[in-house]
Every structure is written in C-alpha cells, then in structure tokens.
Amino acid sequence: MRIVLFGPPGAGKGTQAKRLIDTLKVPQISTGDILRAAKAEGTPMGKKAAEFMDAGKLVPDEVVIGIIDERTQKDDCQSGFMLDGFPRTIPQAEALGAMLKGRDQGIDHVVSLEVDDGVLVQRLTRRRSCPECGAIYHLDFSPPKTEGKCDQEGAALMHRADDQEEAIRERLNVFHGQTSPLKDFYKQAGLLREVDGAGAPDAVFSNVTQALGV
C-alpha cells in the first residue's frame, strides 16, 4: 500500500503514521524528519534547509522531491510506504505521480486529517518530542512520565524551533496557501479520504483505519 498522510502542521500526521506502520508493515517516510536529521548532522542540504524550516517556510521543491525519489527506491519500500509531510505543493504532487508512474506504481490513498486552526496552535505550542526516538508528547494531554524526559530513552525532550508561535503562524499560512490546494488535486483523482483529526490519538486512529479499510 502506498499512502499519503495529509494535513496541516499539528494535525497528527506523525503520531498516526507511527501507529499505522505497525498495522500496515510499511515504512514511514517523513520529509520533516529527514530534513531535521540533515540539519542536525550539518550536511550541506541540512544547512540550506534550516533557513527555510526555522522560518516556517517550505524547503524548495527540488530538494524534497530528490529526497523522496531516492528514499522510495530503497528495498524496504517494495511493498509500499507511508508519506508523512510530502507532497506539500502541486509541483511536488505532480513529481510524485510521474516518479511512481515511471515505476508502474501509484498512490492508493490520501488520508486527510481535518483539524481546525485553533486546535492546531494549541497542539503545536505544547508539543515536545524526543530527539532520539521521535516519540511525540503533549504537555497537557500526553505528558511524559518524568517532566522533560522521554519515557523510552530518558533523553531531554525538545521543543522544535518551528513550534514557536511566529513560525506556527507562518506554517499555517503556508498550509492554507500552498498545501491545501492538494486536497482538490487528490479529490479529482478519487484518492482523497477525509478523516476527523480533532480527537485524541486513539479516536483518530480508529477513523483512519476505517477510512483505509484495514
């Protein structure tokens, strides 16, 4: 199965992807995670991407398209993959379609997590994550057992640079301007599955699995 998890920042794409990969046995491919790792390693791509990411802007299409082209050709993607945070623009979606067509493949479902802006801001400002294992916490709804520390690794939790209020506002603007037109793009292709993403992770997961029929 080849799936796109679609939605605004804070919609729960990462949280749902981590649950779905256990059910579907396909890898999660998050362009945000790949770019953050490149930034942390200080690679040339990471340095270039950091300027855009910290300001809440999109990294240029050719960079993320290149990442996805390379990553989806790896062996673990033979029986499918789950894209989290890609595509985010029409040119990215077109490039993805062309890339898969060239391999006699296609996307099966685009799951769109629907959440209002007010809820998103509330989620993002209180979100913390583990830099080692990627676990995601919310200070009010799913806090770690020990304050500031990951339950799994004990690593110090981080507050992403782009989860500060100004960058959040910019990311929501970018979503409404550049990314949300993709919903029509995939609706016309008959691939869009709209899912209520406003509830707790368990409730949203059950909406997602129902929409996918898994």
Query: Annotated catalytic sites, by residue?
Result: 13, 88, 127, 160, 171
Return d(Cα 59, Cα 69) in angstroms, integer.
16
Site string for ligand AMP, 146-185 (x = CB under 6 A): ----------------x--------x--------------
Say if CB 183 and CB 192 are below 8 A apart: yes
Nearest position to ligand AMP, beta carbon: 32
Report CA dihedral (177, 82, 167, 180) to the nearest 10 degrees: 10
SS3 state of residue 123:
helix
Give least dist CB 137 to ligand AMP, A. 15
Using alpha carbons, select from 31, 84, 37, 106 the residue that is nearest to residue 62: 31
Q: Which one of the spans 29-37, 102-110, 127-135, 188-196 is the region binding ligand AMP (CB under 6 A)?
A: 29-37
Among residues 3, 53, 110, 208, the one that binds ligand AMP under rule CB under 6 A: 53
Site string for ligand AMP, 94-133 (x = CB under 6 A): ----------------------------------------
Return d(Cα 12, Cα 2) in angstroms, integer.
19
Give least dist CB 173 to ligand AMP, A. 11
Return d(Cα 184, Cα 131) in angstroms, integer.
35
Among residues 19, 48, 52, 201, the one that binds ligand AMP under rule CB under 6 A: 52
Which H helix or E strand runs over 4?
strand 2-6
Give least dist CB 208 to ligand AMP, A. 17
Say if CB 158 and CB 196 are below 8 A apart: no
Among residues 4, 5, 7, 9, the one that binds ligand AMP under rule CB under 6 A: 9
Q: Counting contacts by CB under 6 A, is residue 11 touching ligand AMP?
A: no
